[in-house]
Chains A and B, each alone.
Chain A
Amino acid sequence: MAAGTAPAIATQKVTKRFGKLTAVNELTIEVLAGQVVGFLGPNGAGKTTAMRMLMGFIRPTSGRATILGGQPARDVALRRQIGYLPGDFRMDSAMSGRDLFAWFGHLRGGLNRARVNDLTDRLRLDASRPYRDLSKGNRQKIGLVQAFMHDPQVLILDEPTTGLDPLIQKEFLGLVREAAERGAAVLFSTHVLPEVERIADAVAIIRAGRLVALSPVNDLLDRARHRLEFRFSAPITKSLFDGVPGVVEVEVNGQTATIAVDGPVDKAVRAALNGPTLIRVGSAGDELEDLFLTMYGSGQETV
């Protein structure tokens, strides 16, 4: 982190209680200009609550949440510098994307039509159709366009890729990268680890309202549990992976083996080469839950 640069997005020991439930507990995170931070955590961990406190929709019980040094709840003009996508994007069902962009553009001090057209082209959104006639993915695209269309200095995106097909997800990652390149600070929450891997500079992991890790993406991935899938030319037995360091789970189904590995996969791959001819290797997806399991053993958490 560059010294002397004030964070564009910051929470300082921010806590939010709803009655007896502590949704966010003394959370401190910072995102600098030009930085992309992935916000990870299971459902109900407090990601959305933290983002809504930053936006000023709900007030912290204690601590401070600031954007560009100010508070959007008090400083209305500050919101011009923010692009926000709620976790459950919904809008007036009779409105089309174009209607919403025109309205919000007006509220934000002017609509950049060229930019909107560029975004709708890239995300392949037909902005003329009313929201109610659109699929989940296309609705989400409207949410993305309205968040990016004014080229804000800060982007707060709650589960931005929900419902998007892989091609559009890739386009979205490009948008985030471009925003960061021109100096925007981006905080986005997700369940999907590869997404973080591709664009985030750092990852903040939150669990039961507490920050449990804030680290560069690569560090995290090196520690994470990986799932590999091997397909062999002939049926195999579980014993192929017996005693291999790092292997914590083995599942065999005829010619296919799915294994979970903590840390480097080197030894496990070598062991696989001792079996029948190896036809295919695939990553079975790194689950967020696996990441937690490696980092916190049983996954039990005390609050």
Chain B
Amino acid sequence: MLAVLRQVIWRRRIGLIWWSLGTAAMAALLAVAYPTVRNNSELDKTFAGLPPGVQAALGLAPGSLLTSPAGYLNSQYFANILPLMLLVFGIGLAAWAIGGDESAGTLELLLANPVSRLRVAVERAGALLLLVGFLAVLASATLLVLAPSSGLTDGISAGHIVEASAASALLALTFAALTFALGAATGSRSMAIAVSSALAMAGFVIEGIAAQVPALRPVRELSPWHWMLGSNPLQNGLQWHWWLLPVAATVLFVSLGVARFRVRDLH
């Protein structure tokens, strides 16, 4: 059962240990550092002096203080560190899944076995979903264990921390699905990484400056960054349309990529 998926995890086991440690350590650091930040009202003054656009770019929702649990978690973690970590991990794995394996000249050997291209693609996309999801769960679990003792979860429900982590995972999965699809459709790992990373970075920047530049607002509606941050899931929870959009985009990208992969020539 799922021999292709299990091989992905087995193959990446060492890397996964490091990614897990890094993810947990980052969340732990965030929790441990909070008591110091909370009592530093100078930080609030400094940040309040920044233009609203810069504040927004830092992930600080209007009217929330950097030293408040929500302001701190959003600006230091959920608006940047966590999604970026998951993005790097997700895009890397997605680029390898078909395009990278093919560029390395190793995919063909696997496909000489009694496994269809559909199965390889679906199981590898499944591994991607599983591993990005695992890191997001690990991130929220670490926060949930360590945050209460430092007062980081005051006024924030455990459910919202999980939902904010899920929003980050969905963002990473959307771009990872794009990477996967480009690699599956073309066999080019480098192109898949270049295009999806460029779009991810563009989305990040647009989300940051759109508060200042009204002309960009229609554009950001298309951005997974806006789907993730737009409703401030840490405070409001993740509303249905904000998770439906990335899920739909992910399914669409993967389906298109797999459909092309099934019929094209391998390189």
- Which residues of A line the B interface, CB within 8 A? 52, 55, 57-59, 72, 76-80, 82, 84, 86, 88-92, 94-95, 103-104, 106-109, 146
Instruction: Say yes or no for B115: interface residue by CB 8 A criterion.
Output: yes
Contact A76 B114 (CB under 8 A): yes
Q: How far is the CA of A72 from the CA of B115 in the complex (A)?
A: 10
Q: Which of B10-41 contact A (CB under 8 A)?
A: 11
Report Cα–Cα, A77/B114, bound state, in Å.
5
A79: chain B residues at CB < 8 Å are 112-115
Set B7, B11, B113, B266: member contacting A57, Cβ < 8 A: B266
Known: A57-B265, A92-B11. A106 touches B3 (CB 8 A): yes
B104 CB contacts on chain A under 8 angstroms: 90
Cβ-defined contact, A95 with B109, below 8 A: no
Q: Which residue of A lies closest to B13 (CB)?
A: A94
Contact A107 to B115, CB < 8 A, known contacts A57-B266, A95-B11: yes
The answer, yes or no, to whether B108 is at the interface (CB within 8 Å) is yes
* A162 CB, nearest partner CB in chain B, Å: 14
> How far does the alpha carbon of A120 sit from the alpha carbon of B134 in the complex, in Å?
39
Complex-state Cα separation, A146 to B263, whole angstroms:
26
**For the complex, what is the distance from the CA of A92 to the CA of B11, rounded to whole Å?**
9
Nearest 4 Cβ contacts at the A-B interface = A84-B112, A58-B265, A107-B113, A90-B105
* Interface residue ranges, B against A (CB under 8 Å): 3, 7, 11, 104-106, 108-109, 111-116, 263, 265-266
Most B-side CB within 10 Å, residue of A78, A88, A104: A104
Complex Cα–Cα for A264 and B105 (A): 44
From known contacts A76-B116, A104-B113, infer whether A94 and B105 are also in contact, taking CB-CB under 8 Å.
no
* Contacts A57-B266, A103-B3, A106-B3; A91 near B106 (Cβ below 8 A): yes
| Min CB–CB distance A111 → chain B (angstroms) | 12
Report A-chain residues with C-beta under 8 Å of the C-beta of B263. Answer: 59
Is B114's CB under 8 angstroms from A94's CB? no
Closest to A106 in B: B3
Bound CA–CA A70/B263 (angstroms): 17
Q: In the complex, what residues of A have CB within 8 A of residue B114's CB?
A: 76-80, 107-109
- How far is the CB of A53 from the nearest CB of chain B, in Å? 9
Residue of B with least CB distance to A58: B265
Measured between alpha carbons, how far is A95 from B11 in the docked complex, in Å?
A: 8
Question: 22 A-B Cβ contacts within 8 A?
Answer: A52-B266, A55-B112, A59-B263, A59-B265, A72-B112, A76-B116, A77-B114, A84-B109, A86-B109, A86-B112, A88-B105, A90-B104, A90-B105, A90-B106, A91-B106, A92-B106, A104-B113, A107-B113, A107-B114, A107-B115, A108-B114, A109-B114
Question: Do B112 and A58 touch across chains, with their CB atoms under 8 A apart?
Answer: no
Residues on the A chain within 8 Å of B266, using CB: 52, 57-58
Is the beta-carbon distance between A82 and B11 smaller than 8 angstroms? Answer: no
What chain A residues lie within 8 Å of B3 (beta carbons)? 103, 106-107
Cα of A146 to Cα of B106 in the assembled complex, Å: 14
- Nearest-neighbour CB distance to chain A for B231, whole angstroms, equals 42
Instruction: Chain B residues near A104: list those with CB within 8 A.
Output: 113
- Name the CB-closest residue of B to A53: B265
A61 to B19, CA, bound (A): 45
Residue from B7, B113, B116, B266 with most neighbouring chain A CB atoms (10 Å): B113
What is the CB-to-nearest-CB distance from A170 to chain B, in angstroms, rounded to a whole number?
Answer: 25
A143 nearest CB neighbor, chain B only: B109
Known interface pairs A79-B115, A104-B113; 17 further A-B residue pairs with C-beta atoms within 8 A, sorted by A's residue number: A52-B108, A52-B266, A57-B266, A58-B265, A78-B114, A80-B114, A88-B105, A90-B104, A90-B105, A90-B106, A91-B109, A92-B11, A106-B3, A107-B115, A108-B113, A109-B114, A146-B109
| Complex alpha-carbon distance, A106 and B115, angstroms | 11
Q: A103-B3, A103-B7 are in contact. Are A57 and B111 (CB under 8 A)?
A: yes
Q: Which residues of A contact B113 (CB under 8 A)?
A: 79, 104, 107-108
Counting chain A CB atoms within 10 Å of each CB, the highest count among B7, B106, B112 belongs to B112
Q: How far is the CA of A91 from the CA of B266 in the complex (A)?
A: 16
CA distance A103 to B112 in the complex (A): 13
| Nearest CB in chain A to that of B118: its residue | A76
Report the nearest A residue to B105, measured CB to CB.
A90
Q: Whole-angstrom distance between the alpha carbons of A88 and B108 in the complex?
A: 11
Pair A57/B106 contact, Cβ less than 8 Å:
no
Determine if A82 and B112 form an interchain contact, defined as CB atoms under 8 angstroms apart: yes
User: Once bound together, how far apart are the Cα atoms of A59 and B262, in whole Å?
Assistant: 11
The chain B residue with its CB closest to the CB of A57 is B266
Q: How near does chain A come to B127, taking the closest CB pair, in angstroms?
A: 14
Considering the complex, give the chain B residue whose CB is closest to the CB of A91: B106
C-alpha spacing A275/B112, complex, angstroms = 57
B residues near A78, Cβ cutoff 8 Å: 114
A92 to B96, CA, bound (A): 12
A57 touches B115 (CB 8 A): no
Whose C-beta in chain B lies nearest to the C-beta of A105?
B113
Among A55, A82, A86, A146, the residue within 8 A (CB) of B105 is: A86
